[in-house]
Amino acid sequence: MRAADFSATLKEAKWLTGGGYNSDMPKFYDDILDDIEREMLRISDDMLVQIFRLHSTTGEVWSPRVDIYETKDKLVVKICAAGVKPDNLDISLSPDDRFLTIRGVRSEGNMLRKGVVRYYQLEVYYGPFERVVALPESVKINRDQLHAAYKEGFIIVTLPKKQSDGVRRVPISD
């Protein structure tokens, strides 16, 4: 049975809308399944990070979250790096323009852990990190105009697209 064919009972409608039956924003089954899938991916990603963090021989390892999107004239990579000082960052583009590597260190700075008796939640990662992002092969990068900025806890890397030369006529010789 498809979600579109299902008719919810009053009790189910209240559960789906998050409260009252007359809620303006009903949640449909497909939306709920999308939310569950997104949350499961986040949890499994966090578990992998924890496994590598616990079994790392080089110290704690963490990997920042990344968004990649394309506009008409550029490719943008947005990296979540709250608390990372711009001086502690290194960003490089591979020679073939296929991979962007972001390395850095988030230090605890003045937030010393002395005197801590017990942690109730420990989700913020400190120490060195590295994230290698695969860029879409279909986008040709203009290497001469790369730009990175640090704004409100995010590193915004702008990779302008190469402008197409348009149609090129090929001469025919005798």
109: domain CATH number is 2.60.40.790
Average pLDDT of the chain is 79
Q: Is the residue at 2 inside a domain?
A: no
Are 119 and 154 part of one and the same domain? yes
Percent of the chain topping pLDDT 90: 36
pLDDT of residue 56: 45
pLDDT of residue 35: 83
Mean pLDDT confidence for 99-105: 93
Strand partners, 134: 99
Are 156 and 115 part of one and the same domain? yes
Evaluate if residue 17 carries a pLDDT over 90: no
Q: 3-state DSSP call for residue 80?
A: strand
Q: Which of 55, 74, 89 marks a domain boundary? A: 55
Q: Could you say which DSSP state residue 62 is in?
A: B
Q: Is the residue at 166 inside a domain?
A: no
Q: 3-state DSSP call for residue 114?
A: coil
Are 86 and 14 part of one and the same domain? no
Q: Are the C-beta atoms of residues 165 and 89 closer than 8 Å to each other?
A: no
Cα–Cα distance for residue pair 81/53, rounded to 1 Å: 18
Are 41 and 72 part of one and the same domain? no
pLDDT in tens, 144-159: 999 999 999 999 999 9
CA–chain centroid gap for 171, Å, is 47
Are 44 and 16 part of one and the same domain? yes
Mean pLDDT confidence for 79-98: 92
Are 45 and 79 part of one and the same domain? no
pTM of the model: 0.60
User: In the chain, how many domains are there?
Assistant: 2
pLDDT of residue 166: 72
Find the domain containing 103 and state its range: 66-160
Q: Is the residue at 139 inside a domain?
A: yes
Evaluate if residue 71 carries a pLDDT over 60: yes
H and E: helices and strands count for the chain: 2, 7
Are 31 and 99 part of one and the same domain? no
CA–chain centroid gap for 150, Å, is 15
Mean pLDDT confidence for 36-41: 84
Mean pLDDT confidence for 166-171: 79
Are 119 and 155 part of one and the same domain? yes
The region of weakest confidence among 9-18, 93-102, 137-146, 164-173 is: 9-18
